[in-house]
């Protein structure tokens, strides 16, 4: 899975499926008996070195986008960069922050991805889900518990296949170029990472705690804490998933012993 995850690390998947339509996905799932993991761009995902004993379903071929009376319909494999450009072309506003997040709509729904004070679910009208038997449902926002980088469905065992979104019609003053410049100045963009590894604890910044614990530049095997942004782990030199996980544990233990604060990972580890 190293080639499907932005950390460029991770073990093998038993099976791999890239559907080119929702119907093909439904047909596949209706006969599938293996465990399933959905992935988008793998920009928040690490598969352990031992691999995943099941099928990885990558949705990037499901990337349709349309608009009807200002409601945007988007398939789950659409990248946030493409969605952001589409929103802009339709003279809608509020989606500028999406251009700074490498990922797909499915990943953003699963993670409640956010940046610069905005979060994905703020703009969700409805989502289309599919269960592991291939049945499709339309779900409303109140069928999910939504919080900071966490979304818990009230109906377990369903994956996102599409969404209807509504952005603002009033012009916003967020400038995409400025947002990206701001981001590039503070983050090690271009190096293999998963963005922020840890959630910010209430009232604190994970990066600040890690920096105060003198962990900037600290490495385990080929995995290192970025010198530019302490909440980023970089795959500096052929890091294994174990190197990355051991570094995560070391950071958590050090921050706990120095500040008595538990750092919870934003990164999904399978
Ligand atoms: C350089 C960099 C910067 C980043 N900056 C930010 C940021 O500012 N804000 C932010 O929130 N995140 C950030 N991230 C993390 C990441 O981009 C987001 O979490 C993004 O939403 C992940 O999308 P993805 O499609 O790559 O999901 P993946 O990494 O492929 O998957 C993430 C999780 O979502 C699940 N999932 C994926 N698709 C589906 C689906 N269709 N249905 C159900 N579950 C699904 C996966 O199983 C996994 O649990 C950054 C990452 C990088 C590398």
Q: How confident is the model at residue 33 (pLDDT cuts 50, 70, 90)?
A: very high
Last residue within a domain, chosen from 131, 165, 199:
165
Domain count, the chain: 3
Domain for residue 183, yes or no?
no
Residue 77 CA: nearest ligand 1 atom is 41
Query: Is the CB–ligand 1 distance for residue 265 below 6 Å?
Result: no
Whether residues 76 and 48 fall in one domain: no
Run of H or E residues at 22: helix 22-31
Work out the average pLDDT over 15-40: 97
Last residue within a domain, chosen from 11, 38, 58:
58
Whether residues 139 and 196 fall in one domain: no
Domain for residue 178, yes or no?
no
Q: How confident is the model at residue 25 (pLDDT cuts 50, 70, 90)?
A: very high
Whether residues 149 and 131 fall in one domain: yes
Assess whether pLDDT exceeds 90 at residue 249: yes
Please state, in angstroms and rounded to a whole number, the distance separating the CA atoms of residues 136 and 124.
18
DSSP string, 209-237: HHHHTT-TT-EETTEEE-SS-TTBEEE-S
- The pLDDT tens digits of the residues spanning 223-246 come to 999 999 999 999 999 999 999 999
* Average pLDDT across the chain, whole number: 96
Q: Say which CATH number the domain at 21 has.
A: 3.30.43.10
In terms of Cβ atoms closer than 10 Å to its own Cβ (0-12, 13-18, 19+), residue 18 is middle
Domain for residue 27, yes or no?
yes
- Distance, CA 27 to ligand 1 centroid (Å)? 26
Domain for residue 208, yes or no?
yes
* Cα–Cα separations (whole angstroms), residue 147 to 14, 110, 113, 119, 140: 32, 11, 10, 10, 16
Going by C-alpha positions, the residue among 47, 60, 62 that lies closest to residue 15 is 47
Q: Say which CATH number the domain at 124 has.
A: 3.30.465.10
Instruction: Please tell me the predicted confidence (pLDDT) of residue 169.
Output: 86
Run of H or E residues at 83: helix 80-89
Percent of the chain with pLDDT over 70: 100
Work out the average pLDDT over 45-70: 97
- The pLDDT tens digits of the residues spanning 111-138 come to 999 998 899 999 999 999 999 999 999 9
Domain of residue 92: give its range.
Answer: 65-165
Instruction: Please tell me the predicted confidence (pLDDT) of residue 119.
Output: 97
Whether residues 80 and 151 fall in one domain: yes
Instruction: Please tell me the predicted confidence (pLDDT) of residue 80.
Output: 98
Check 118, 149, 172, 183 and give the catalytic one: 149
pTM, full prediction: 0.97
Whether residues 24 and 77 fall in one domain: no
Are 84 and 92 within 8 A, CB to CB? no
Q: Say which CATH number the domain at 215 has.
A: 3.90.78.10
Instruction: Please tell me the predicted confidence (pLDDT) of residue 111.
Output: 97
Instruction: Please tell me the predicted confidence (pLDDT) of residue 174.
Output: 75
Please state, in angstroms and rounded to a whole number, the distance separating the CA atoms of residues 70 and 232.
37
Whether residues 140 and 48 fall in one domain: no
Residues 6 or more apart whose CB falls under 8 angstroms from that of 6 comprise: 41, 42, 43, 102, 192, 193, 194
In terms of Cβ atoms closer than 10 Å to its own Cβ (0-12, 13-18, 19+), residue 256 is middle
Backbone angles phi, psi at 100, to 5 degrees: -95, 0
* Cα–Cα separations (whole angstroms), residue 186 to 125, 130, 177, 195: 33, 38, 15, 12
Run of H or E residues at 24: helix 22-31
- The pLDDT tens digits of the residues spanning 76-107 come to 999 999 999 999 999 999 999 999 999 999 99
Domain for residue 247, yes or no?
yes
Backbone angles phi, psi at 184, to 5 degrees: -65, -25
Percent of the chain with pLDDT over 90: 91
Instruction: Please tell me the predicted confidence (pLDDT) of residue 255.
Output: 98
Whether residues 32 and 89 fall in one domain: no
Instruction: Please tell me the predicted confidence (pLDDT) of residue 31.
Output: 97
Instruction: Please tell me the predicted confidence (pLDDT) of residue 179.
Output: 80
Query: Is the CB–ligand 1 distance for residue 193 below 6 Å?
Result: yes
- The pLDDT tens digits of the residues spanning 150-207 come to 999 999 899 999 999 999 988 877 777 888 888 889 999 999 999 999 999 999 999 9
Query: Is the CB–ligand 1 distance for residue 115 below 6 Å?
Result: yes
* Cα–Cα separations (whole angstroms), residue 80 to 41, 96, 100, 172, 248: 10, 10, 8, 18, 27
Please state, in angstroms and rounded to a whole number, the distance separating the CA atoms of residues 39 and 60.
9
Query: Is the CB–ligand 1 distance for residue 94 below 6 Å?
Result: no
Last residue within a domain, chosen from 165, 199, 231:
165
Work out the average pLDDT over 139-154: 96
């Amino acid at each position: 899975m190293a080639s499907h995850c932005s950390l460029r690390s991770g073990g093998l998947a038993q099976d791999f499926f890239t559907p080119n339509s929702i119907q093909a996905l439904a047909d596949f799932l209706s006969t599938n008996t293996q465990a399933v993991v959905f992935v988008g761009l793998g920009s928040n995902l690490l598969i352990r070195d031992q691999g995943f004993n099941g099928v990885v379903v990558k949705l990037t071929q499901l990337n349709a986008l349309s608009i009807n009376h200002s409601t945007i319909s988007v398939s789950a494999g659409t990248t946030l960069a493409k969605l952001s450009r589409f929103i802009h072309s339709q003279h809608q506003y509020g989606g500028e922050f999406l251009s700074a997040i490498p990922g797909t709509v499915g990943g953003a729904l699963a993670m409640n991805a956010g940046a610069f004070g905005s979060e994905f679910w703020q703009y969700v009208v409805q989502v289309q889900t599919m269960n592991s038997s291939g049945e499709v449902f339309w779900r409303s926002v109140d069928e999910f518990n939504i919080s900071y980088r966490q979304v818990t469905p009230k109906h377990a065992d369903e994956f996102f296949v599409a969404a209807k979104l509504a952005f603002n019609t009033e012009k916003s003053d967020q400038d995409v170029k400025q947002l990206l410049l701001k981001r590039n100045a503070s983050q090690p963009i271009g190096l293999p990472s998963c963005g922020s590894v840890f959630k910010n604890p209430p009232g604190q910044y994970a990066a600040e705690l890690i920096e105060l614990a003198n962990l900037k530049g600290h490495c385990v095997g080929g995995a290192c804490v970025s010198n530019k942004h302490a909440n980023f782990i970089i795959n500096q030199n052929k890091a294994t998933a174990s190197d990355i996980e051991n570094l995560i544990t070391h950071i958590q233990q050090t921050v706990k012993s120095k500040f008595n604060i538990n750092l919870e990972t934003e990164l999904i580890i399978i």
